[in-house]
Amino acid sequence: MKKLIKGLREFRANYVSTHRELLEQLSHGQKPRVLFITCSDSRIDPNLLTQTDVGELFVIRNAGNIIPPYGAANGGEGASVEYAIHALGIEQIVVCGHSHCGAMKGLLQLGKLEEQMPLVYDWLKHAEATRRLVLDNYSHYDSEELLEVTIAENVLTQIENLKTYPVVHSRLYQNKLKIYGWIYLIETGEVLAYDPESHAYLPPQSQLPEYELEEGPPRGQYRKTHAPPVACSLPFAESAEPVISGPDALRESEAASEPLEIRSKAAAPNGRNTKPANAPNRDQADLTPLWLSPEQAERIYRGSTSTAKR
């Protein structure tokens, strides 16, 4: 508590004194640009992560960054989503999971929680679609790999849950709302963003629209076009079609200059075949990614929709 009180004094002395105009503006109302949905985990700070100021993010936090489907619960999550979009006019939503998520660990051992933490047990049941999908499709992975996949798949499940809300469904139909899926890697400070076109987690700048600057995009960044990805100078990968999937989804590489291991797709559902440079010699007909079976590749590339709705 002493540290908190000291922090309050420093806040007034250092921040308030230099941001009086901003705080005065915020006293008349809020106009956040993004609804940021993430975990309650103390290791995540949405404003620190995105380097945004007070008033720029409307935040929903809970164990496991879970949004129950519409009508499944009368908690604050649904009300906050509805308020953010209808009352505040927010047009962008980020669902952000993170590595080493304790809620996802609990989800994979749900039965053990019922007696010790019954409220946590009841809450995590709202992520049952994630649990069932992972156990049915990735049960042969070891515990660490299974957790990585669960974190990645849960983000996609929560995006599907968001789409069950009438206000979200309506704004998506009007093309007035965009939803993004992120994964924050605590150990490296990196963020990956789910790309629905390539069905993969990519560096987030790959989702930016074309730069409107006459001189073009800043060096080292990616210009998004309607054409398939081409070789570009990304700080994260040298591959023409970077993708993170399967058990390597959240794993660091050994090279310090490449904090995330991003592989090229050996075979994708859209038919484009690009064999990884480090892949051993195999028959030309066998183009399945080394780290995924054909069924798993179909799942991870398609997201959570197809299996979850079976």
Mean pLDDT confidence for 146-166:
95
- In a domain, residue 115? The reply is yes
The residue among 140, 53, 61, 139 whose CA lies nearest residue 97 is 61
Domain co-membership, 240 together with 124: no
DSSP structure class, residue 256: T
- In a domain, residue 17? The reply is no
- In a domain, residue 21? The reply is no
Domain co-membership, 163 together with 277: no
Q: Which of 42-51, 170-179, 180-189, 192-201 has the lowest mean pLDDT?
A: 192-201
- In a domain, residue 192? The reply is no
Provide the pLDDT for residue 197. Answer: 82
Provide the pLDDT for residue 294. Answer: 52
- In a domain, residue 255? The reply is yes
Provide the pLDDT for residue 293. Answer: 46
CATH code of the domain in which 169 resides: 3.40.1050.10
Provide the pLDDT for residue 298. Answer: 52
Q: Which of 32-46, 109-123, 207-221 has the lowest mean pLDDT?
A: 207-221
Tell me the pLDDT band of 131, cut-offs 50, 70 and 90: very high
The residue among 104, 187, 109, 196 whose CA lies nearest residue 152 is 104
Range with top average pLDDT, 142-151, 161-170, 220-229:
161-170
Provide the pLDDT for residue 276. Answer: 33
Chosen domain end from 147, 167, 186? 186
CA distance 9 to 13: 6
Provide the pLDDT for residue 300. Answer: 43
Query: Six-digit token pair at 263?
Result: 């592989």
Domain co-membership, 241 together with 297: yes
Domain co-membership, 181 together with 219: no
Tell me the pLDDT band of 129, cut-offs 50, 70 and 90: very high
Domain co-membership, 180 together with 218: no
**86 assigned to a ligand binding site:** no
**39 assigned to a ligand binding site:** yes
Domain co-membership, 129 together with 83: yes
Provide the pLDDT for residue 26. Answer: 93
In this structure, the strands spanning 242-243 and 263-264 are: antiparallel
Provide the pLDDT for residue 259. Answer: 31
Domain containing 251 equals: 213-310
230-271: pLDDT as tens digits = 222 222 333 333 334 444 444 433 332 333 333 223 333 333
CA distance 93 to 178: 6
Provide the pLDDT for residue 177. Answer: 96
**101 assigned to a ligand binding site:** yes
In this structure, the strands spanning 92-98 and 178-185 are: parallel
Provide the pLDDT for residue 210. Answer: 57
Domain co-membership, 221 together with 157: no
Domain co-membership, 173 together with 247: no
**Total domains present in the chain:** 2
Domain co-membership, 128 together with 243: no
Domain co-membership, 218 together with 159: no
CA distance 115 to 112: 7
